[in-house]
């Protein structure tokens, strides 16, 4: 169970960002994610790259 | 539309269908068979209304043929290793090594600039193909089912006989591996390197 003082690590962020592409994720997790991204350039890039990857696969299909 | 036009159009898509089938089946002969069945079914069938694009329609038929082929293979007593199941792939590299003991990036993702530009380059998709080929077989299968065949998680779990958690782990690994491969061989290499 997560409490409010548990900040997400980058590793946890990568798992969460991936999971959000497949299944809905609770609001609290999404808020913690946004907070982390606001403070972390690496993970911000990662999230953008994951969105790009999905877009690339969509184009691959076409 | 004359029959010759249709078979010509279908033939144009053969290369793409083969690539998708190969990545999921990892068996050249089987992939050829499945694609042939797809094109035969397309020629014989009257299901194409012209509303969806031909490629999309063909991919739909291919999807069912691939799933049937996977099911048949899984039932064979001496199943080929790549159809044998996921346990080995679940144990392999889980990307923890990319993070330090505090869970922070050891080497964070590079800046890809404006990655969408790459989508206009054929060489980019050659690199993408090579990166997909490097994925372990069941990982590739699950990823292609999700991102190319657009099956939802329940469907994929049913087809591959895995739990939702297993699937999320596999898709995570696929995405981490592809991200790394694309960064090394395209974005951080200033364009094509593998191709």
Instruction: Give yes or no: residues B97 and B169 share one domain.
Output: yes
d(CA B91, CA B98): 16
Chain B CB contacts of A32 under 8 Å are: none
Tell me, yes or no, whether B164 and B94 share the same domain: yes
Query: How many CB atoms are closer than 10 A to CB A11?
Result: 19
- The answer on B43 and B10 residing in a single domain is yes
Residues B132 and B170 in one domain: yes
Asked if B147's CB is within 8 angstroms of A57's CB, the reply is yes
The structure tokens listed for B49 are: 């209304």
Interchain CB contact of B164 with A (< 8 Å)? yes
Which residue has tokens 């292609």?
Answer: B144
Segment 63-102 of chain B within 8 Å of chain A by CB: 95-96, 98-99, 102
Which domain range does residue B39 map to? 3-75
Q: What is the pLDDT of residue B89?
A: 65
Residue A33 inside a domain? The answer is yes
Are A62 and B55 contacting, i.e. CB atoms less than 8 angstroms apart? yes
Separation of alpha carbons B15 and A23, rounded Å: 32
CA distance A39 to A49: 17
For residue B192, tell me if it sits in a domain: no
Q: What is the mean pLDDT of residues A15-44?
A: 96
Q: At A61, is the pLDDT very low, low, confident or very high (cuts 50, 70, 90)? A: confident
Q: What percent of chain A has pLDDT over 90?
A: 84
Q: Do A50 and B105 touch (CB under 8 A)?
A: no
Task: Please determine, for residue A2, whether its predicted confidence score (pLDDT) is greater than 70.
Answer: no
Instruction: Say whether both B71 and B157 belong to one domain.
Output: no
| Nearest CB partner across the interface for A9, out of B103, B109, B148 | B103
**Chain B stretch 6-45, residues whose beta carbon is closer than 8 A to a beta carbon of chain A:** none
CA distance B101 to A4: 22
Q: A-contacting residues of B 98-157, CB under 8 Å? A: 98-99, 102-105, 108-112, 115-116, 118-119, 124-125, 128, 146-148, 153
Name residues of chain B where pLDDT drops below 50.
80-81, 192, 195
State the smallest CA–CA distance between residue B36 and chain A in angstroms. Answer: 19
Could you tell me if B69 and B106 lie in one domain? no
Assigned domain for B50 exists: yes
Q: For the segment B108-129, what is each residue's pLDDT rounded down to a tens digit?
A: 999 999 999 999 999 999 999 9
Q: What is the pLDDT of residue B46?
A: 64
Q: CA-nearest residue of chain A to B171?
A: A18
For position B119, what pLDDT does the model report?
A: 95
User: In whole numbers, what is the pLDDT of chain A averaged over residues?
Assistant: 92
Cα nearest neighbour of B99 on chain A:
A11
How far is CA B61 from each of CA A7, B13, B176, rounded to the nearest angstrom? 46, 13, 30
> Do B15 and B53 fall within a single domain?
yes
What is the structure's pLDDT at B188? 86
Q: Number of structural domains, chain A?
A: 1
- Label each residue of chain B as H, E or C: CCHHHHHHHHHHHHHHHHHHHHHHHCCHHHHHHHHHHHHHHHHHCCCCCCCCCHHHHHHHHHHHHHHHHHHHHHHCCCCCHHHCCCHHHHHCCCCHHHECCCCCECCCCCCCCCHHHHHHCHHHHHHHHHHHHHCCHHHHHHHHHHHCCCCCHHHHHHHHCCCHHHHHHHHHHHHHHHHHHHHHHHHCCCCCCCC
Query: Does residue B80 fall inside a structural domain?
Result: no
Do the Cβ atoms of B104 and B183 come closer than 8 Å? no
B168 contacts A22? CB cut-off 8 A: yes
- Picking from B30, B50, B75, the residue at the C-terminal end of a domain is B75
**DSSP bridge pairs for B105:** B99
Question: Confidence band (pLDDT; 50, 70, 90) for A57?
Answer: very high
- Which of A9, A16, A22 has the most B C-beta neighbours within 10 Å, making it the best mutation to test the interface with B? A22
Structural domains of chain B, count: 2
Interior/surface letters B102-120, b for 16+ CB within 10 angstroms, e for the rest: eeebeebbeebeebeebbe
Query: Tokens 């043929």 map to which residue?
Result: B65
Query: Could you tell me if residue B195 is inside a domain?
Result: no
């Amino acid at each position: 169970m997560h409490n409010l003082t548990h900040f997400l690590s980058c590793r946890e962020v990568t798992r969460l960002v991936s999971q959000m592409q497949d299944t809905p994720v609770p609001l609290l997790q999404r808020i913690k994610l946004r907070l982390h991204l606001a403070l972390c350039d690496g993970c911000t890039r990662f999230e953008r790259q994951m969105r790009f990857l999905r877009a690339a696969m969509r184009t691959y299909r076409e | 539309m004359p029959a010759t036009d249709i078979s010509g159009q279908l033939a144009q898509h053969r290369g793409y269908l083969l690539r998708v089938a190969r990545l999921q089946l990892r068996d050249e002969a089987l992939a050829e068979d499945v694609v042939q069945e797809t094109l035969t079914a397309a020629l014989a069938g009257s299901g194409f209304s012209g509303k969806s694009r031909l490629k999309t329609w063909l991919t739909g038929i291919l999807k069912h043929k691939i799933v049937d082929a996977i099911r048949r293979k899984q039932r064979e007593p001496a199943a080929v290793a790549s159809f044998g199941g996921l346990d080995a792939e679940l144990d392999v590299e889980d990307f923890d090594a990319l993070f330090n003991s505090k869970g922070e990036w050891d080497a964070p993702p590079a800046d890809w600039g404006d990655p969408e530009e790459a989508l206009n380059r054929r060489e980019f998709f050659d690199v993408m193909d090579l990166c997909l080929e490097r994925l372990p077989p069941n990982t590739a299968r699950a990823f292609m089912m999700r991102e190319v065949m657009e099956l939802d998680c329940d469907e994929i779990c049913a087809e591959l006989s895995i739990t939702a958690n297993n699937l999320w782990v596999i898709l995570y690994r696929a995405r981490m591996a592809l991200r790394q491969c694309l960064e090394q061989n395209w974005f951080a290499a200033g364009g094509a390197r593998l191709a």
